[in-house]
Amino acid sequence: MALSMKQTLACKAAGRSRTVSVKALKYADELVQTAGKVASKGRGILAMDESNATCGKRLQSIGLENTEDSRRAYRELLVTTPGLGQYISGAILFEETLFQKPEVLLDGEHDIDACLEVQEAVWAETFKYLADNKVLFEGILLKPAMVTPGADAKVKASPETVATYTLNLLRRRVPPAVPGIMFLSGGQSELEATLNLNAMNQSPNPWHVSFSYARALQNSVLKSWQGKPENLAAGQEALLKRAKANSDAQLGQYDASGESAAAGERTYEKGYKY
């Protein structure tokens, strides 16, 4: 099973750790307030932090050349969508990604139990280093993968099963002081990512359980836009539809009726690089 764990917490020396903690305390209130605003009811994060190379692959899928102008036009489409703030509380930009991001990739044939076992180890290590470095848990957001079988697993998991395994993992590893769990979609289809999130919000949780999706928010957008100025409104309408669907899922009120076939298309790429 492939692991991708980005950790930049290199402050292991005791003296260095104390220095970092003292400086961070100056911004504790602001951190807590900001985290609370991002993790607000019915809202999630638009992940648009793809590298230029990865963004280029998306653009090439609709016949566009990977140029600065093309990337700018696409990102402007996303951030200028009218009404998007109703459902999106923040955006992650390239090189501004949250680095404490424990992700177990979909690559492989492993079952959901194997995924859970590895995720428990990864999350335990992540929070150990966060605690060792006196990170303020009330001021952070966690962006993990859900607990799912591998992309090539013979037995798939229902949204209810994914929710059960993932919530069990959260309860075992994530302190309730953390205000928000903003799941990445990790190659799930738009529909899968929304259904799984909805299943996790069928009962109260000690954290704001929400989304920080890229492909699972943007796949339909690209197909609707096609890089054509005359399709700008259609692309923005597609984004707003997906954002609202995931907002409903964060509230546990998502209804999948009326979803298009495109929403069920697989976005998984083996060996995916951000």
- Tens digit of each residue's pLDDT (9 = 90 or more) over 183-237: 999 889 999 999 999 999 999 999 999 999 999 999 999 999 999 999 999 999 9
- Specify if 17 maps to a domain: no
Tell me how many domains the chain contains: 1
Residues sharing a CB contact under 8 Å with residue 204, sequence separation 6 or more, in sequence order: none
- Specify if 8 maps to a domain: no
Residue 37: is its pLDDT beyond 80? yes
CATH, residue 195: 3.20.20.70
Residues sharing a CB contact under 8 Å with residue 190, sequence separation 6 or more, in sequence order: 215, 216, 217, 219, 220, 242, 245, 262, 263, 264, 265, 267
Distance of alpha carbon 102 from alpha carbon 124, whole angstroms: 10
- Three-state DSSP at 142 gives strand
- Specify if 242 maps to a domain: yes
Count Cβ atoms below 10 Å from residue 4 Cβ, excluding itself.
16
Distance of alpha carbon 142 from alpha carbon 179, whole angstroms: 9
Report the predicted TM-score, pTM, of the whole model to 2 decimal places: 0.85
- Specify if 28 maps to a domain: no
- With beta carbons less than 8 A apart as the criterion, state whether 18 and 28 touch: no
Domain that holds residue 169: 54-264
Condensed to tens digits (0 to 9), the pLDDT of residues 7-26 reads 333 334 344 444 445 555 77
Distance of alpha carbon 262 from alpha carbon 75, whole angstroms: 21
- In this prediction, residues 104-129 reach a mean pLDDT of 91
